[in-house]
């Protein structure tokens, strides 16, 4: 049985076996692969992970798609995107990615693998049980179309709890915070070395909450706040100070999973019209260049890089010559924190709700276990700590904890079936 942490930004793959649970290398020695796929039209092949991103940055003709987990639970899954002469539905793009992981596992194991456990956020779609169920069933049916016959799901923070639990020496109450690329998920769990391998842990799970806010949203709001205005966002039509240019193109360009939709003819005619009537056509000219030359993902990556720089420094800058010759934008932490304050608040609310729902008082939580790439941001960590100020903070494997925990669970499930 295998475990797949299909993440918005990164994915891992675990193989459960009687010898133990481990993550498998996915690209050379890397245990983590960016959830990216590139349809390389020049070489007529499909590439995954870092190879996909490299081919895109080397300007091979083709299409890059990222953050596709974000479309689960929406009709976008069935929407087709033009790739060369073909139109391919996003469901099929996700299928290719999952099938790629399955293939790696099968090559490792030397046999077919029909059983899988996937991680899932507490909410794929915030507070909407119907769409949430739809998202899971979409992923399940994609898994079936890859050839899996048995498909399980587990909440991502519970999986992270299982990983944390494998190293604890005594029973404790832990608040698990998994703050990733697409969602922030929280669980309060009684972790215990004695109960670690029991198949049914329901009584140890006191609460789960989650919110559809993650690192890709931080990128989006940093981009909209500090980059898109340099491409015309919030500027006006000529002679009409009360009429801003339409925002949809800027939103799409700032949203990882929507960038690929900007290539259509409709966008080109909208851009031409915006350029013709804009008060600042030179800014719209930059926007047109990015769309025409398909450097939207490069721009999103540069914004992400600025965000990551700000997680360990007060300021940074990025060079954007592919937007405009000599264009350099400076970023600083206070402006960044302001741009994303609404998102940080939502994360804080969700974690407080988790503590409330657990029925235990905040000071009884022993440990705050942090995982997920976005937990690298100090102000996000602070927002989590404030909910359980007495708890000691443990930083887990930011990109591997969920996958490792899922693999532990896969092992337990496997043993339960054998028994």
DSSP codes of every residue in 203-262 = GGEEEEEEES--HHHHHHHHHHHHTGGGGTTT-EETTEEEEEPPSHHHHHHHSGGGGGGG
Beta strand pairing call for 45-48 and 36-40:
antiparallel
Decide: is 7 part of the binding site for ligand ATP (CB under 6 A): yes
Total site size for Mg ion, rule CB under 5 A: 2
Among 225, 232, 373, 396, binds ligand ATP (CB under 6 A): 373
- Closer residue to ligand ATP in complex, CB, 267/371: 371
Decide: is 180 part of the binding site for Mg ion (CB under 5 A): yes
Shortest distance (Å) from residue 214 CB to ligand ATP: 4
Strand partners, 317: 330
CA distance 379 to 303: 18
Task: Tell me which residues in 157-196 interact with ligand ATP (CB under 6 A).
Answer: 180-183
Task: Tell me which residues in 283-322 interact with ligand ATP (CB under 6 A).
Answer: 304, 307-308, 311
Decide: is 9 part of the binding site for ligand ATP (CB under 6 A): yes
H-helix segments, 293-400: 296-310, 333-339, 341-358, 378-387
Among 1, 7, 105, 377, binds Mg ion (CB under 5 A): 7
Decide: is 214 part of the binding site for Mg ion (CB under 5 A): no
Residues 6+ apart with CB under 8 A from 120: 135, 136, 139, 153, 154, 155, 156
Helices then strands, counting H and E runs in the chain, come out as 13, 20
By a kind-dependent CB cut-off of 5 to 8 A, residue 182 interacts, out of ligand ATP, Mg ion, none, with: ligand ATP
- Closer residue to ligand ATP in complex, CB, 222/410: 222
Site string for ligand ATP, 212-251 (x = CB under 6 A): --xxx-----------------------------------
Residue of 119, 112, 174 lying closest to 146 (CA atoms): 112
- The residues that touch Mg ion, with contacts defined as CB under 5 A, are 7, 180
- The residues that touch ligand ATP, with contacts defined as CB under 6 A, are 7-10, 69, 156, 180-183, 214-216, 304, 307-308, 311, 372-374, 376-377, 399
């Amino acid at each position: 049985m295998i475990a797949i942490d299909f993440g918005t930004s990164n994915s891992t793959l675990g193989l459960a076996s009687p010898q133990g649970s481990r993550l498998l290398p996915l690209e050379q020695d890397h245990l983590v692969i960016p959830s990216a796929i590139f349809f390389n039209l020049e070489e007529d092949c499909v590439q995954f992970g870092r190879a996909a991103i490299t081919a895109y940055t080397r300007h091979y003709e083709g299409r890059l798609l990222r953050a596709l987990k974000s479309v689960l639970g929406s009709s976008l899954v069935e929407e087709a995107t033009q790739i060369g002469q073909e139109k391919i539905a996003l469901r099929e793009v996700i299928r290719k990615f999952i099938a790629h992981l399955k293939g790696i596992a099968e090559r490792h194991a030397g046999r077919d693998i029909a059983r899988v456990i996937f991680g899932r956020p507490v909410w794929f779609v915030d507070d909407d049980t119907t769409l949430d169920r739809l998202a899971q069933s979409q992923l399940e049916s994609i898994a079936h179309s890859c050839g899996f016959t048995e498909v399980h799901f587990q909440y991502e923070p519970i999986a992270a709890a299982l990983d944390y639990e494998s190293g604890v020496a005594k029973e404790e109450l832990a608040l698990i915070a998994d703050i990733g690329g697409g969602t922030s998920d929280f669980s309060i769990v009684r972790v215990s070395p004695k109960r670690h391998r029991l198949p049914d842990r329901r009584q140890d799970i006191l609460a789960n909450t989650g919110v559809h806010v993650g690192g890709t949203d931080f990128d989006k709001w940093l981009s909209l706040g500090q980059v898109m205005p340099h491409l015309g966002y919030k500027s006006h039509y000529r002679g009409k100070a009360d009429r801003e240019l339409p925002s949809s193109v800027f939103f799409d360009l700032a949203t990882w999973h929507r960038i690929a939709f900007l290539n259509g003819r409709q966008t080109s005619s909208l851009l031409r019209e915006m350029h013709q009537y804009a008060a600042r056509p030179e800014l719209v000219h930059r926007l047109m260049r990015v769309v025409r030359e398909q450097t939207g993902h490069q721009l999103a990556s540069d914004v992400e890089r600025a965000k990551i720089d700000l997680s360990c420094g007060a300021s940074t800058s990025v060079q954007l010559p592919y937007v405009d010759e000599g264009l350099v934008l400076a970023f600083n932490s206070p402006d960044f924190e302001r741009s994303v304050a609404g998102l940080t608040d939502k994360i804080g609310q969700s974690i407080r709700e988790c503590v409330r729902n657990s029925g235990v008082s905040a000071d009884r939580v022993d440990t705050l276990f942090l995982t997920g790439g976005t937990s690298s941001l100090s102000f996000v960590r602070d927002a989590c700590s404030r909910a359980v100020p007495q708890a000691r903070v443990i930083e887990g494997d930011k990109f591997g904890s969920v996958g490792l925990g899922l693999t532990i669970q896969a092992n337990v499930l496997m043993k339960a079936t054998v028994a």
